[in-house]
């Protein structure tokens, strides 16, 4: 699999042009898309024209940085100027965006080439999408950033924009065998993004490896651009970050046997490489996280959709509709209590992670490998971090006995993306795992 | 003509309900719309449903303030949730907004009822729209907020959202015989608004009278909600604001004979009521304002439209296309000089206005009464304030010999909306002018 950082090096050294990179991606789309259905649409001509422009810039000596000429996919809830944003709605199929979303504008300025819009579950919720898992076409790619994960996994693009309110970045990235990052809450702008639950919506990158996530995230961050540079992350990945807190509790109880075995093996390997792995005890309120997350998601989604659901009930699939009805029937005090717990756990978890410099937690990324395509899988290991707003990085560590990717999830302290990405890059290197490439279906 | 503040008093005293107010507006739409063509669409059912909800709130004792239940129109460049924003483009006719523009959300929270979208010239530029001037159907209503001004003038709504980059609020409001306010640059959010030239785009209200502008602006301001209250403005309008600076120069040279006579008469009347009118000399750089404004508008509009104009040339009418071509061919240093002058004049003009408390300038609002419908009229008296970002209020003062409204324009210091609105309210009262109502065409 082509990575962003390798492609960036090749572009800088003039071994490849943005035009050739786009052509590679389009060839992979010709190979894969009929099996995987990752795209709402691909704008071949637009992408090639943009690649030409960025290639010309390079030949004039203009270099925008490591995203110069990198072809990416955009989840179909982000506004891209003059492209429709449908968010899985039939009624929004021609709803053309009249501005770029903030994060799209930032990536465009950094030199990204947008190939097209990737499939999202409807309104970024739970109804199974048309997209299939490239490792096994009977399995789900996960949701809601289904197309983004499947497209990166198959080299149809080198990176993709995703978003997470429950487990919508980590879960699809992990099921498809690629890396994902959900940044700290509020650090990446949601302006121009169809909301699900505004107090937990997080745009984030999906990419082949951790270094690529760092490159994309750096262009997307609203506030702390200066906190780390690409070179700093490259350097940090060479030094062991010290101690990891392994989290059990629900992260053990809900994991299947393959995931439990994978976690034991990963922990043993990291210890071998010099990391300390200690047990991390979750604060007492954490047992309420999953129902409280659901309450906040349902109530806030209902606030956005209420009027539209009344006018266009036919434009809502069963699971999002059930979520909205839950929200509409949720008593205000229940929502209020869920918000209070959210505030309290945000503070408590960040305080708990300050043990040495900044602590990093280690959990499995998903409860199992990708299940069949009748669901988008269980977000139970991801929703707690969407709820508490802590940043996460997930990366694939190998294949399950039935040939599906398994992944781990690292969780950092709020705002400390540089430590988290450096730790994740070190883990990726210590485990000796690189991007996993699925075999083309026959 | 029904004013917002009278309707607000009647609602608070339960003499009328929001439902009845909406029904009045819909009846005026039945009477006027076939002549005037002010609306892109009217959402009768949606408005009545919203009026019902806001009437129910009142009967439960909930009162949101003076905009509670006030029916308004929204210029079709502002996003309103689940309504299309076409901005006069055929290709954007079904481009449904997935969020409210900031200012739409603020007005919604303040209790406004949105009746529908009002006609804008294409991309808020200069191509004549389908809308006609209600005072004479062969005349232009002005642009680009054409539908907003014509709809308020005919009682089809009580107030409307407009926007101004050159003269797009003041000109149509004045041609149609209603009041308009262009706030200080940057004080009202442009988020969710189709841009024309971002460094000069100003959303603002169009309404029957100055007090109504104050009510709407208060809900729209991003930063200084606390600067003035409705009651403060009501009190201030009773005390003479002291001194006005009458501006001649281009504001005299470009005015026709009727406008010059009107200005002399207005000045004499204000002197009679105790105001001092002194001559205000424009700073030297001001002679460059009109060409520099055009440069900034062309260059910034071209930045937004460039790519789209290339892909969809057929979706651009002649005048906007000429503007964009001008911008595409504008050398960067020319634009840079125009921006430098803009910065310098912004500071200089605000400094010049600090003569006692905060000074107010007096100019005609337009060069003439509404010309025929083959143009949208001359924005020469308005563009200087869009360029320098100073706030303006315009109000009608009477009819020209051929029965068309004439209006004056007051200009204040940056950010000092409370002084400007109080002065304008005093002038309106001193001149004894109220809202002008056009006769229904036979």
CB contact under 8 A, A307 and B195: no
- Contact list in B for residue A81 (CB cut-off 8 A) is 307-308
pLDDT score, position B442: 79
DSSP letters of B59-108?
HTT----TTTT-EEEEETTB--TTSB--TT-STTTT-B-SS--HHHHHHH
* Cα(B145)–Cα(B139) distance, integer angstroms: 15
What is the C-alpha to C-alpha distance for residues A101 and A105, in angstroms, rounded to an integer?
A: 6
Interchain proximity A307–B82, CB inside 8 Å: yes
Q: Could you tell me which residues of chain B have a Cβ less than 8 Å from any Cβ in chain A?
A: 81-82, 84-85, 87, 91-92, 94-99, 191, 194-195, 307-308, 311
| A-chain residue closest to B304, CA distance | A99
Q: What is the pLDDT of residue A164?
A: 98
* CA-based nearest residue in chain B for residue A49: B307
Q: Residue for token digits 């004792």? A: B61
CA A184 to chain centre: 12
Quick one: tokens of A441?
A: 């279906």
A284: CB partners within 8 A, 6+ apart: none
- What element of type H or E holds A207? strand A202-207
Per-domain boundaries in chain A? 4-242+367-430, 286-346
For the residues A311-325, what does the mean pLDDT come to? 96
Could A95 and B99 be called an inter-chain contact, meaning their C-beta atoms sit closer than 8 Å? no
What's the mean pLDDT when you consider all of chain B? 94
Percent of chain A predicted with pLDDT > 70:
95
Would you state the structure tokens that stand for residue B8, as one six-digit string? 């607000």
Return the structure tokens found at B232. 């403060």
Q: How many CB pairs under 8 A join A and B?
A: 41
Contacts of A92 in chain B (CB under 8 A): 96, 98
Give the CATH class of B4-242+371-430.
alpha beta
Using a CB-CB distance cutoff of 8 angstroms, which residues of chain A are in contact with residue B85? 98
Q: How far apart are CA B116 and CA B94, in angstroms?
A: 15
User: Chain A partners of B194 at a C-beta cutoff of 8 Å?
Assistant: 98-99
Note whether A95 contacts B91, CB cutoff 8 Å.
no
For residue A199 the two structure tokens come to: 């107090």
The chain A residue lying nearest B87, using CA atoms, is A98
pLDDT given at position B235: 60
Residue A427: which of A251, A243, A248, A256 has the closest Cα? A243
* Burial class of B115 by CB neighbour count within 10 A (0 to 12, 13 to 18, 19+): buried
pLDDT band at residue A260 using 50, 70 and 90 as cut-offs = very high
Catalytic residues of A: 75, 144, 168
Is B99 in contact with A195 (Cβ distance < 8 A)?
yes
pLDDT per residue as tens digits for the range B350-391? 888 876 566 899 999 999 999 999 999 999 999 999 999 999
From A314's Cα to the closest Cα of chain B, the distance in A is 15
Q: Which residue has the tokens 């007090």?
A: B211
Compute the distance between CA of residue A157 and CA of residue A164 in angstroms, rounded to an integer. Answer: 20
For residue A176, give how far its alpha carbon lies from the nearest alpha carbon of chain B (Å).
Answer: 30
From A51's Cα to the closest Cα of chain B, the distance in A is: 14
The per-residue pLDDT for B226 is: 47
A138-147 confidence digits (pLDDT tens): 999 999 999 9
Instruction: Measure the CA–CA gap between B159 and B157, rounded to whole angstroms.
Output: 6
Would the pLDDT of B236 be above 80?
no
Q: Do A91 and B96 touch (CB under 8 A)?
A: yes
Rounded CA-CA distance A236/A214 in Å is 12
Peptide bond before A211: cis, by omega within 30 degrees of 0?
Answer: no
Q: Which of A164, A89, A151, A154 minimizes the C-alpha distance to A116?
A: A151
Tell me the two tokens of residue B309: 């104009």
Of the listed ranges A205-219, B339-353, B367-381, the one predicted with least confidence: B339-353
- As a dihedral over the C-alpha atoms of residue A228, residue A231, residue A232, residue A237, rounded to 10 degrees, the angle is 120
C-alpha distance from B141 to closest chain A C-alpha (Å) = 26
Whether the predicted interface score ipTM is above 0.90: no
CB burial of residue B402 (10 Å; 0-12, 13-18, 19+): exposed
Please answer yes or no on whether A98 and B95 come within 8 Å at the CB atom: yes
Closest CA to A195 of A139, A120, A245, A259: A120
pLDDT: which is higher, B314 or A418: B314
pLDDT in tens, A225-235: 545 556 665 66
Residues of A in contact with B311 (CB under 8 A): 82
Residue B224, pLDDT above cutoff 60: no
Spell out which residues of chain B touch residue A91, defining contact as CB-CB under 8 Å: 96
The set of residues, in sequence order, having a beta carbon less than 8 Å from that of A350 and lying 6+ positions away, is A390, A413, A414
| Chain B residues whose beta carbon lies within 8 Å of the beta carbon of residue A98 | 85, 87, 92, 95, 194
Which tens digits make up the pLDDT trace of B244-260?
Answer: 999 999 999 999 999 99
In A, which residues are within 8 Å of B96 by CB distance? 91-92, 94-95
CA distance A150 to A63: 29
Q: What is the DSSP letter of A1?
A: -
Distances (CA, A) of B64 to A91, A274, B104, B158, B188: 33, 63, 16, 17, 20
Nearest chain A Cα distance for residue B225, angstroms: 23
Six-digit token pair at A12?
A: 């800088």
DSSP assignment of A219-244, as one string? HH-SS-GGG--HHHHHHHTTS---EE
Alpha carbon of B118: minimum distance to chain A alpha carbons (Å): 18
Phi-psi region of B242 (alpha: psi -120 to 50; beta: other; left: phi over 0): left
| Model confidence pLDDT, tens digit, residues A51-106 | 999 999 999 999 999 999 999 999 999 999 999 999 999 999 999 999 999 999 99
pLDDT tens for each residue of B276-330: 999 999 998 899 999 999 999 999 999 999 999 999 999 999 999 999 999 999 9
- What phi and psi, each to the nearest 5 degrees, are found at residue A418? -65, -40
- The reply to whether residue A81 touches residue B307, judged by beta carbons under 8 angstroms, is yes
Does position B136 have pLDDT exceeding 50, yes or no?
yes
Mean pLDDT of chain A: 93
Measured CA distances, B235 to B180, B232, B239, B432 (Å):
21, 5, 8, 17
Residue B100 has pLDDT above 90, yes or no: yes
**CB burial class (10 A; 0-12, 13-18, 19+) of residue B50?**
buried
Quick check: is B95 catalytic? no
Question: pLDDT tens digits, residue range A263-309?
Answer: 999 999 999 999 999 999 999 889 999 999 999 999 999 999 999 99
To the nearest whole angstrom, how far is the Cα of B263 from the nearest Cα of chain A?
Answer: 42
- B96 vs A82, A95, A99: nearest CB: A95
Q: Which residues pair with B337 in a beta bridge?
A: none
Listed in sequence order, the residues at least 6 apart from A413 whose beta carbon sits closer than 8 Å to its beta carbon are A350, A353, A354, A358, A359, A390, A391, A419, A420
Q: Is the per-residue pLDDT at B74 higher than 50?
A: yes
Closest CB to B96 among A82, A92, A99: A92
Answer yes or no: do A95 and B98 touch at CB < 8 A. yes
Taking any CB pair shorter than 8 Å as contact, residues of chain A touching chain B are 81-82, 84-85, 87, 91-92, 94-99, 191, 194-195, 307-308, 311
Phi, psi of A15 (to 5 degrees): -85, -20
Q: Which CATH class is domain A4-242+367-430?
A: alpha beta
For B184-223, how does the pLDDT look when each residue is reduced to its tens digit (9 = 90+)? 999 999 999 999 999 999 999 999 999 999 999 999 997 6
Tell how far CA A82 is from the center of its chain: 24
């Amino acid at each position: 699999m082509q990575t962003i950082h390798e492609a960036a090096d090749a572009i800088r050294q003039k071994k490849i042009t943005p035009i050739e990179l786009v052509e590679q991606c389009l060839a992979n789309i010709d190979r894969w898309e009929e099996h995987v259905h990752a795209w709402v649409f691909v704008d071949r001509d637009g992408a090639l024209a943009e690649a030409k422009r960025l290639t010309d810039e390079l030949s004039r000596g203009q270099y925008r940085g490591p995203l110069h000429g990198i072809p990416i996919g955009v989840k179909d809830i982000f506004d891209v100027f003059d492209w429709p944003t449908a968010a899985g709605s039939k009624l929004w199929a021609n709803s053309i965006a009249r501005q770029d979303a903030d994060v799209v504008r930032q990536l465009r300025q950094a030199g990204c080439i947008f190939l097209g819009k990737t499939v999202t579950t409807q309104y970024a919720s739970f109804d199974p999408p048309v997209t299939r898992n490239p490792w096994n076409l009977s399995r789900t790619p996960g949701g809601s950033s289904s197309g983004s994960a499947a497209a990166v996994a198959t080299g149809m693009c080198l990176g993709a924009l995703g978003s997470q309110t429950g487990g919508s970045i980590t879960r699809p990235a992990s099921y498809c065998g690629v890396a994902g990052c959900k940044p700290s809450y509020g650090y990446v702008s949601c302006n121009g993004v169809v909301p699900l639950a505004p107090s937990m919506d997080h745009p984030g990158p999906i990419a082949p490896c951790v270094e690529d996530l760092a490159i994309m995230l750096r262009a997307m961050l609203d506030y702390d651009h200066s906190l780390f540079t690409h070179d700093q992350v490259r350097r940090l990945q060479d030094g062991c970050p010290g101690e990891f807190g392994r989290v059990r509790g629900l992260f053990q109880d809900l994991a299947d046997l393959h995931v439990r075995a994978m976690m034991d093996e990963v922990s043993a390997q990291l210890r071998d490489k010099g990391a300390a792995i200690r047990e991390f005890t979750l604060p007492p309120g954490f047992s309420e996280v999953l129902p409280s997350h659901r309450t906040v998601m349902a109530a806030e989604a209902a606030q956005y959709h209420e009027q539209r659901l009344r006018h266009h009930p036919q434009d809502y699939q069963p699971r999002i509709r059930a979520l909205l009805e839950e929200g509409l029937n949720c008593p205000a005090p229940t929502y209020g209590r869920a918000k209070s717990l959210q505030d309290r756990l945000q503070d408590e978890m960040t305080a708990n992670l300050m043990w040495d410099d900044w602590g990093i937690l280690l959990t499995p990324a998903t409860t199992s490998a990708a299940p069949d395509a009748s669901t988008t899988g269980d977000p139970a290991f991801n929703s707690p971090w969407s709820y508490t707003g802590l940043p996460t990085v997930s990366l694939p560590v190998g294949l399950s006995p039935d040939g599906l990717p398994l992944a781990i999830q690292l969780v950092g302290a709020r705002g400390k993306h540089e430590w988290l990405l450096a730790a994740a890059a070190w883990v990726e290197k210590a485990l000796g795992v690189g991007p996993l490439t699925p075999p083309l279906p026959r």
